């Protein structure tokens, strides 16, 4: 099974916002990423619009001709936006409004009724629902019961342990992916995946549908160029 690469372009917007103008353009970045081989584009709009803005999301919809994945905390404002834009996938994350980046998956059981209702709304709108979880089979199975089509596994613990013990680092993710497959849902992954640890992860974790990577890709692109960077990430995903 081919694992898709979705490029998160939040950092392009961060750089643009530093000058208050439109360079670099997030629309051009999305077009270029797709042209260079990305299978999709991810954005994570936050309430303070410190990187991706609501207007960016609206303008990106006709530009993203592959898969559009919108991540975010399912506030009323976020749900209004995604139901208007209708991306191919919405990834629900439990971030507080002021969070710098995602730092944990959902406690699905504690938020089961809320997540079930949101998954039902997304499904009714024809949008794939992914729930961001830790590499915990119980959380994966709960997400499936809540109506998720996929889970996104939070991979920072893997990235942190990988340099010293890659086999131990990947083991919980193998188990979680198997639990997802047994529950009949797909598997995405993201956070701190990079050119050093991605191939090992993708080659060990079964049933891996998609990885979403942003910060590392943009950092590597400063030295390698965006086209070469995406080529290398796509190569790293080959089994």
Catalytic residue numbers read 44, 71, 191
- Tokens linked to 4: 């898709």
How far apart (Å, rounded) are the C-alpha atoms in residues 70 and 88?
9
How far apart (Å, rounded) are the C-alpha atoms in residues 43 and 146?
24
- 238 burial type by CB count under 10 A (0-12 exposed, 13-18 middle, 19+ buried): exposed
- Tokens linked to 172: 């919980």
Q: What is the DSSP letter of 66?
A: S
- Tokens linked to 37: 């081989």
Beta-bridge partners for 67: 40
How far apart (Å, rounded) are the C-alpha atoms in residues 188 and 143?
13
Cis, peptide link before residue 198, omega less than 30° from 0 = no
Q: Buried (b) or exposed (e) across 167-180, using 16+ Cβ within 10 A?
A: eebbebbbebbbbb
How far apart (Å, rounded) are the C-alpha atoms in residues 115 and 73?
11
Matching residue, tokens 């834009």: 85
User: DSSP string covering 186-238, please?
Assistant: EEEEESS--TTTHHHHHHHSTTEEEEEE-HHHHHHHHHH-HHHHHHHHHHHT-
């Amino acid at each position: 099974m081919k694992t898709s690469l979705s490029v998160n372009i939040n950092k392009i917007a961060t750089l643009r916002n530093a000058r208050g103008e439109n360079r670099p353009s997030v629309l051009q970045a999305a077009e270029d990423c797709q042209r260079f081989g990305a299978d999709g584009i991810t954005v994570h709009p936050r309430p303070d619009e410190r990187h991706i803005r609501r207007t960016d999301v609206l303008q990106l919809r006709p530009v993203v001709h592959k898969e559009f994945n919108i991540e975010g905390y399912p506030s009323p404002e976020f749900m209004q936006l995604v139901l208007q834009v209708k991306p191919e996938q919405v990834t629900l994350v439990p971030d507080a409004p002021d969070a710098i980046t995602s730092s944990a998956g959902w406690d699905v059981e504690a938020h089961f009724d809320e997540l079930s209702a949101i998954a039902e709304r997304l499904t009714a709108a024809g949008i794939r629902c992914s729930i961001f979880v830790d590499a915990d089979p119980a959380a994966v199975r709960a997400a499936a019961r809540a109506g998720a089509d996929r889970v996104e596994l939070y991979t920072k613990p893997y990235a942190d342990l990988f340099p010293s013990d890659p086999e131990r680092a990947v083991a919980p993710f193998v188990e979680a992916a198997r639990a997802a497959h047994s529950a009949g849902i797909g598997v995405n992954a993201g956070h701190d995946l990079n050119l050093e640890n991605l191939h090992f992860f993708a080659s060990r974790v079964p049933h891996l549908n998609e990885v979403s990577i942003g910060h590392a890709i943009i950092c590597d692109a400063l030295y390698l160029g965006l086209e070469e960077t995406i080529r290398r990430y796509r190569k790293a995903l080959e089994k």
